[in-house]
Structure 1
Amino acid sequence: MRVLLVEDDPTTAKSIELMLTHANLNVYTTDLGEEGIDLAKLYDYDLILLDLNLPDMNGHEVLRQLRLARIETPILILSGASDTDNKIKGFGFGADDYMTKPFHREELVARIHAIIRRSKGHSQSIIRTGEIEVNLDAKTVEVDGKPVHLTGKEYQMLELLSLRKGTTLTKEMFLNHLYGGMDEPELKIIDVFICKLRKKLAQATGGETYIETVWGRGYVLRDPEPQQELPGSMALGA
């Protein structure tokens, strides 16, 4: 999952980066509100962490401009201000949650996961597609209780497909999710990852097809179609 952190204090920013990286979250940081707005418009993030006291503009104004620009990415405000007025103003401008500094790493990570799950329409941490279970908190994949061993990139792709199940995702979206604009390889690497992921899922599920190719557009994760019985099969052995 990709998180944009808008925080001007370098010590706090570094601390949060370490917290989230330890929780296997990809973190991208800026110390300016204006740059945060530009990044949120340009790239696809799962969540934005927003400080209110920024050097170039107030965090509430950043939030207001993002919502006016129809950026629907969930936003969690991180602030040293615990007064009710700041919280009400933040929620009024479209914030999804508000945490007061200092906070515990476990609570921050738990809130991030919960907000992202709700934003994708999932109330639980486990997303089920057919026989496949993706645990967003543990970063694991199981089929009928047995672990499916994926590489980091393969898991990230399956996680994105699961969170947006039924939605066609372009190769550019995968590339952005995996690399975030940093040292991105060519688009064809996505085909390679998808091929390997398909093989592992097919092996674990007895040959079921979960990832479909949408020609000219990208890939989509769907529940496998139930196999229809052959005509007359019920009469065999009668």
Structure 2
Amino acid sequence: MRILFAEDKFTSSRAILSALKKAGFAADLARSGQNAIELLRNYDYGLAIITMTLADMDGYTILNTLRALKVTTPVIILSNIDTPEAKIRAFALGADDYLAEPFETAELIARVQAILRRSNGYAHPIAQVGPLTLNLNNHTVMVEDRPIHLTGKEFAILELLVLRKGIAQTKETFLNHLYGGRDEPDIKIIDVFICKLRKKLQTVGAEDLISTVWGRGYILHDPQAGPVPEPLVTLAQLPVPAEHAPLQLQAVGD
């Protein structure tokens, strides 16, 4: 999951970026409000953390601009003003959370994780699919009490599959989830990540959770939901009446 942090003070930005990285998030830094708006308009972020007192515009202006542009990315406002009026104004403009300084970075990370869970339809940090248990907070994966050690990219792919179980995800969706539209490698890298992930799941007997949907991408199903339905018959598979059948051309050399 990629997060945007808007802050123009070096010391505080370094501390928060470090905390986000330790929590398993990829984070980009915007040094101005305008830069934050442009990044959020053009790239897909899971969440934005915006400091109220940026040099070129305040957090209220950034929020108002983002929501006017129909940017729905969840936003946490960080501010040194701890009054009900300031919080109410931020929430009215579209903030998802408001954290007054001073605060512990651990509290900020907990709020980030809570918002991301809610935005993905999970109120609880533990997601269960068949024998697989995925902890969205500490980024751990277990299969019937056996831990699986995944890289950051492998966890992010499994996270997306679990959060959208039963729905085929395209390779483009995985790329966007991993890289947020920035510095994306060749799309074939998704096949590599999926192959490695399947091998690790296979070692603990969960190799059948991820399936390939030809021409679309990959899907994770819940074994308790029953077998995956067969694909519908396409028009190309239906018999063609003789009077509408295409001419059969014979290739040279046959």
Q: Tell me if TM exceeds 0.5.
A: yes
TM-score by length of 2: 0.81
Paired residues, number? 227
Q: Could you tell me how far apart the structure 2 residues matched to 1:167 and 1:97 are?
A: 30
Look up the match of 2:26: 26
Contact 1:198 1:211 in 2 (8 A): yes
Look up the match of 1:211: 210
Structure 1: tracts of 5 or more residues without a match: 229-238
Q: Return the letter of the residue paired with 2:54.
A: L
Aligned residue runs from structure 1 range 77-88, under 5 A: 77-88=77-88
Aligned residue runs from structure 1 range 21-100, under 5 A: 21-100=21-100
Secondary structure of 1:39's match? helix
Secondary structure of 1:204's match? coil
Q: Return the letter of the residue paired with 1:217.
A: R
| Residues 125 and 154 of structure 1: CA distance in aligned 2, closer, same or farther (over 3 Å) | same
Q: Return the letter of the residue paired with 1:44.
A: D
TM-score by length of 1: 0.86
Contact 1:129 1:162 in 2 (8 A): yes
Secondary structure of 2:186's match? coil
Contact 2:132 2:141 in 1 (8 A): yes
Look up the match of 1:153: 153
Secondary structure of 2:204's match? helix
Q: CA deviation at 1:151?
A: 2.4
Contact 1:131 1:205 in 2 (8 A): no
Q: Return the letter of the residue paired with 1:211.
A: I
Look up the match of 1:107: 107
Look up the match of 1:187: 187
CA RMSD of aligned residues (A): 2.1
Structure 2: tracts of 5 or more residues without a match: 229-254
Q: Could you tell me how far apart the structure 1 residues matched to 2:119 and 2:206 are?
A: 32
Q: Could you tell me how far apart the structure 2 residues matched to 1:66 and 1:205 are?
A: 46
Select the structure of larger CA radius of gyration: 2
Q: Could you tell me how far apart the structure 1 residues matched to 2:165 and 2:20 are?
A: 25
